[in-house]
Amino acid sequence: MNPLHRTSRPGAALLWRLGAAGLALSALGAAAGPGCGEKKPDKVVVIREGEDAEAAEPPQQTAEEAHEERLRERENAPEPELNPEEPREQFALVWELGKKDLKSIHQERYDILQRMKDIKFEDEAYEKRNEELIEKLSKFSVGREKEQLETAAERLCAAVTEARTLSDQLIAEGEAEIRKIDEEIKENETKVADGGKVSQKKWDKLEEARTNWSQPIQAGKFAQLAIKSMLDEGYVLADKGPRRAQLKLRDCLGEIAKQPLALDLAQEQLEKVIARAKWYRDLR
């Protein structure tokens, strides 16, 4: 007979069963292995004496900081080993991969120059200056032949420098005259407010003069849009041209960038071309 049946202690059999069940559960937990209903230990951070708890945690880099770091690493990477016979180093990829962009850029610049031609000048001297500027702007293109593409970077920098000078002059001259006209208009308005009189003929004359001086300003601003368009071509050259073209663009456009372009769009594109010219990417 089982000795447990002869015990005189009440509840002993129940205690024996509970103990056996506990052993069974322990054995089941060991068989299942760690992690089954078991809390994982927290990460241990060692904080030395005199050290701030926050300082013990390594600083987390933001996505923006990580992106900037990758850009710095890319721009400061050592010069690539180049095969002069590769298609990119032969200018073959500029039109092969950039044809669609270049055609679109040329069409856009054609439209800009047409708008310049449509401006009606009262002053023949300004009309002639506008025509000369249009002619200069229409001459630039990176070209199709290898010989043209070899000199594209230098020609772009020269064209941007000259067009900027001429367009800035047109805008500055027009704005200076308009400031004078606006001052006179303000004086006349003050005179009228004080009870004086200004003839309608004088008002019309001032308005006409203001319209006439807005023409060179308009021409100059269209020319600056054309400069932005030329820089669009420069980006295609930097993105798909050989390393030697990139280095020329980086250096000569870097000089131009020391004095920001008047048109924000043109300045942004200038900076974009320079940034792209700093690093090389194998397109094949």
What is the spatial distance between Cα 172 and Cα 159, in angstroms, rounded to a whole number? 20
55-59, 175-179, 236-240, 280-284: least confident range: 55-59
Tens-digit pLDDT profile for residues 122-140: 999 999 999 999 999 999 9
Say which residue, 1 or 78, is predicted with more confidence: 78
Q: What is the pLDDT of residue 237?
A: 98
Neighbour count for residue 92 (Cβ, 10 Å): 17
Q: pLDDT category, 45, cuts 50, 70, 90?
A: low
Statement: residue 7 has pLDDT above 90: no
Statement: residue 56 has pLDDT above 90: no
Nearest to 249 by CA among 271, 265, 226, 273: 273
Asked if 79 and 247 count as a contact pair (C-beta separation under 8 A), the reply is no
pTM over 0.75: no
Nearest to 113 by CA among 99, 101, 127, 130: 130
152-193 helix and 243-256 helix, angle to the nearest 10 degrees? 30
Tens-digit pLDDT profile for residues 223-252: 999 999 999 999 999 999 999 999 999 999
Q: What is the pLDDT of residue 49?
A: 59
Asked if 13 and 4 count as a contact pair (C-beta separation under 8 A), the reply is yes
Statement: residue 37 has pLDDT above 60: no
